[in-house]
Amino acid sequence: NNKKLSIHIKRERKMKFKDDAKFRDNYTCKICDFNVDRKYGKTAFAALEVHHIRPLSHATDVVETKLKDLITLCSNCHSMLHKLGGSKQQIARLKKIMHGTIKF
């Protein structure tokens, strides 16, 4: 229960892109096809997460994010994608895992 001071560098993000990506993707996880609107209604839109296809952690300079650089995911798929490394290739791999064509 000790307290520790941490200092982090945080990248600024435009929240509008997040909302635009969710709208573009019809509030549906692009890996497992879970649609938040159909299951829970509009109040659950905040439960969806948006993933950068090109990880910002690899960027050394300021990166201008475009809508095409983002993908809408449910929290489970987002977590699993990060466990796989988070790259564009891993998105395709996780889709295959979800649809049962390959094993984890």
Tens-place pLDDT, residues 27-57: 999 999 999 988 888 888 888 999 999 877 6
CA dist 99 and 68 (Å) reads 24
* pLDDT value at residue 24: 96
Torsion sign across C-alpha atoms 76, 82, 87, 89: negative
Task: Give Cα 89 distance to the centre of its chain.
Answer: 14
Give the mean pLDDT of 74-85.
94
Give the mean pLDDT of 70-74.
95
Task: Return mean pLDDT, the chain.
Answer: 87
CB atoms within 10 A of CB 8: 4
Q: What is the pTM of this model?
A: 0.81
- Helix (H) or strand (E) holding 97, with range, is helix 88-98
Structural tokens at position 17? 């892109």
